Structure 1
Amino acid sequence: MSSQHEKPAKKHSREWFEALVIAAIFATVLRIFVVESYRIPTGSMENTLLAGDFLFVNKYVYGARVPLAGFRLPAVESVDRGDVIVFKFPKDRSLNYIKRCIAVSGDTLEIREQQLYVNGKAFPLPEHAQFIGQKVPPAAADFQIFPKYSSFNKDNYGPLRIPRKGDVIVLNAETYQLYSSLVADEGHDISLMGVQVYVDGVPVKQYTVQDNYYFAMGDNRDNSLDSRYWGFLPERDIVGEAMMVYWSWDPGIPLLFDPLGKIFSARWQRIGLMVH
């Protein structure tokens, strides 16, 4: 009698195990290729997105990356100006950043007294964007700004053309700070000796760009570590487009020490908010 009961029990356990494995595989595929959850850690996108917002990121829209394969699936749409995008931080790809795409490959960008211009046309400030600091005058150069040693600052920047795949860029002592990180990130050794630029040990005067690039900025313009500080965003680092806030609470309240306070800090009005 006991052996007759053991067989159905084993079969039932195996079916549950198989169901769990299938569910895990499905969830993994969904996370890698379709939608992933992301938490906003800082205030760089205020007041469009707040620290403590949790949102879904659409990964298939720009073509999800295939792990370990070195290529992306076909894109449904291209990255456009105004898209809120999640990407691997080019200076530390273990980190995910979220910013707004301000300019795409081939665009010319300029900021004059906080007003952004793309291809000579005023780019409107996003609805919930803000300035929280004092306006910096044009003559005040900021050497933390990209490229180093330029006359740019956060409120007066450019004009600067965003590189596009196939562009032939001039490499010399004047453009070295502008393009050296791009060339290095595309897998080459680049150096400057005197006025001569060397790529992979060979003296060169020009270089053909291998990827498309973008320029990203936070909506909280005075509190955002963005392309104004670290440069061009490679297309290969873009993860996806922000879709919707599915949860939000105050990140300053510790869950471990004040669980009720954490729960009651939920921002119910933000749940279901579409990101744009």
Structure 2
Amino acid sequence: MKKQNTTPNGKNGKTQSREWFEALVIAALVAAILRMFVIESYRIPTGSMEKTLLAGDFLFVNKFVYGAKVPFTDISLPKVHDVRRGDIIVFKFPRDRSLNYIKRCIALPGDNLEIRNQQVYINGKGMQLPPHAQFIGTKMPAGVPEFQIFPSMSDYNKDNYGPIHIPRSGDVITLTSATLPLYRDLIAYEGHTVSLVGDQVFLDGQAANRYTVSRNYYFAMGDNRDNSLDSRYWGFLPENDIVGQAMMVYWSWDPDLPLLFDPVEKIASIRWNRIGLAVH
């Protein structure tokens, strides 16, 4: 009679291989679920958050704190708390949702925001500059419009901006030729078509002078105020596009050094003092 090959624990090779395969599948599923709903890794690609975060920092992002999104749906899991002013958040870039951006939340739904001579005011009260925020460019005077500023055709610039109201669910906004640049993207995001014929705004093909906002929006800025593509340039951040809150730096090194061609120099560039750094 043919002898069956067994392992020391008495199981045959096929059974053991199957158990290993099942364990790997389960581990992969658990990792995918954790990445989808709990925590995800994110790499800082640019200097828009310097000196708070550096290009080459690798972060853990807390996805469940704001209520993780169920993929391919508009469903969100229960959240721990709402986004707060000052939170560093990762979100889908509104102009290309295949990209993730990271900025600091400056204003919440319903807030009134204004920047005067680089000082941010929320609801009329001056907001303290984040501890490591910086200005590296030339200050721009009020009334001098900046190229690509939001909304178009305004006289805003990076250092003198607004006043502007951050839309929240239930807000009723007035639609005119003057306000349309401010709300066009928001209305399109909420699933409507909007156009301007002469001085008349048309919503879903019908003349309209009012619109009720159905979602909440935020205003985000980088800590490196003069080198950040943020809400001052692309507008309001929809709540549904927020991925999570930055939590901790788990790795950091110089992103400009190639590991393949100069591994010694790359390893020498590790920023040991940043590993384990809490993000706030």
Coarse TM-score class (shorter-chain normalised):
over 0.9
| Match among 43, 59, 64 for residue 60 of structure 1 | 64
User: In the aligned structure 2, how far is the partner of 1:134 from the partner of 1:235?
Assistant: 32
Q: What's the counterpart of residue 271 of structure 1? A: 275
2:22 counterpart of 1:3? no
Check the 8 A contact 1:143/1:149 in 2, yes or no.
no
Separation in 2 of the partners of 1:235 and 1:4? Answer: 59
Single out whichever of 178-187 and 40-49 deviates more from structure 2.
178-187
Match of 1:28 in 2: 32
Match of 1:237 in 2: 241
CA distance in structure 1 between the aligned counterparts of 2:161 and 2:75, rounded to whole angstroms = 34
1:106 and 1:209 mapped to 2: Cα distance?
11
Alignment-derived partner of residue 146 in structure 1: 150
1:211 aligned residue: 215
User: Could you tell me how far apart the structure 1 residues matched to 2:58 and 2:124 are?
Assistant: 36
TM-score, normalization by structure 1: 0.98
Cα distance between partner residues in 2 of 1:4 and 1:140: 82
Give 1:99's aligned amino acid: K
1:220 to 217, 224, 233: 224
In 1, Cα distance between the equivalents of 2:24 and 2:165? 51
Deviation per residue, 1:136-181 (Å, 9 max, x gap) = 0112111411000111100000110100001110001110101011
Give the Å deviation of 1:82: 0.1
- What CA RMSD, in Å, does the superposition of the two structures yield over aligned residues? 1.0
Unaligned runs of 5+ in 2: none
Identity %: 68
Q: Name the counterpart of 1:117.
A: 121
Listed one character per residue, the Cα deviations across residues 34-60 of structure 1 (whole Å, up to 9, x for unaligned) are: 000000000000000000000000000
Pair 1:197 & 2:198 matched: no
Is 2:5–2:13's contact at 8 Å kept on the other side of the alignment? no
Code of the residue aligned with 2:152 in structure 1: it is K
The question of whether the paired residues in 2 share the 8 Å contact of 1:57 and 1:242 is answered with: yes
Instruction: Determine the C-alpha separation between the residues in 2 that align with 1:113 and 1:69.
Output: 42
In 2, the alpha carbon distance for the partners of 1:125 and 1:202 equals: 45
How far 1:4 sits from its partner (Å)? 4.4
Matching residue's letter, 2:20 = W
Q: Kindly indicate whether the alpha-carbon contact (under 8 Å) linking 1:143 and 1:150 is maintained by their aligned counterparts in 2.
A: no
Distance between the aligned counterparts of 2:167 and 2:215, measured in 1?
8
Hey, what does 2:137 align to over in structure 1?
Answer: 133
How far is the alpha carbon of 1:219 from its aligned partner?
0.1
* Worse-matched range after superposition: 68-77 or 18-27: 68-77
Q: Where has structure 1 moved over 4 Å in runs of 4 or more? A: none
- Between the aligned partners of 2:260 and 2:197, the Cα distance in structure 1 is 55
- Unaligned residue ranges in structure 1 (runs of 5+): none
Structure 1 partner of 2:96:
92
Measure how far apart 1:184 and its partner are: 0.8
What's the CA shift for 1:70? 2.3
- After TM superposition, the score normalised by the length of structure 2 is 0.97
Residues 188 and 199 in structure 1, CA contact (< 8 A), matched pair in contact too = yes
After superposition, residues 161-176 of structure 1 pair within 5 angstroms as: 161-176=165-180
CA distance in 1, matches of 2:78, 2:199: 42
CA distance in 2, matches of 1:162, 1:247: 35
